[in-house]
Structure 1
Amino acid sequence: MKHRNDNLKRVIVDFKKLTPEILALLVERYPDGYDDDDIISFRNQHNDMIEAVEVTTEDTKYLVKVSSKLSVTMENYDVEDYEDFADDDPEAIQPPSMDDEEE
């Protein structure tokens, strides 16, 4: 018997490569944080044990590697911090100008 999720693309995501979109999905799925029951354990192609939490979009199942930094980031998540990223505006990310450093 095939499940709806059987044909989804599967992506393992490290904390360092977490996008604002995936972070938003994590916070939505686990608003009070995740616990041991939410963690999936598996071995990767190098036979290393990986622990991850799962979030699913329409076409992709993301397995986000669990770490203490992930927990802290989810706890401190504020949607307003990421509003500029929603438009994929290249000007939303700018290096600091020399004027900013003088302040």
Structure 2
Amino acid sequence: MKRRIIDYEKLTTEVLDLLVEKFPDGYNYDDIMTFQNARGETIKAVEVRTDDTIYLVKIGMKLEQKMEDYSEEEMGEDDSDPTEISNEDDFPDEY
């Protein structure tokens, strides 16, 4: 199995899909792996897998924003019907 460390700037659509699928609400502290690379730098990453590759995607605020933007893009800007009322309890009693 191949192992790859990827920076958020070099993410492919495939890896972004895997990230959004695995972490639809974002990742937690427990999802983060911390290790030192060959240069002695501390790296924090989250893991996603395909059939033949393990990807460690370096994390940071920019990765979170990229995942969020990509997820919103996939869902469309607003798929909701503005005339649909989802829960009557959300309105004050006078309505």
Q: TM-score range by the shorter chain?
A: 0.7 to 0.9
Please give the TM-score of this superposition, normalised by the length of structure 2.
0.73
Percent identity over paired residues: 53
Task: Please name the residue that 2:43 is paired with.
Answer: 50
Amino acid at match of 1:79: E
1:1-103 matched pairs, under 5 angstroms: 8-77=1-70, 78-79=73-74
Distance 1:10 1:39 in 2: 16
Deviation at 1:80, TM superposition (A): 6.7
RMSD between aligned residues: 1.4
Task: Name stretches of at least 5 consecutive residues in structure 2 with no aligned partner.
Answer: 77-95
Q: Distance in 2 between matches of 1:24 and 1:72?
A: 14
3-state SS in 2 of match to 1:50: strand
Deviation at 1:16? Answer: 1.0
Give secondary structure in 1 for the equivalent of 2:24. coil
Output the CA distance in 2 between the equivalents of 1:38 and 1:80: 24
Q: Which runs of 5+ in 1 are unaligned?
A: 1-7, 82-103
Name which one, 1 or 2, has greater alpha-carbon Rg: 2
What TM-score results when the alignment is normalised by the length of structure 1? 0.68
Say how many residue pairs are matched.
74
SS at the partner of 2:34? Answer: strand
Alignment correspondent of 2:79:
none
Kindly indicate which of the two structures has a greater share of residues assigned to helix: 1
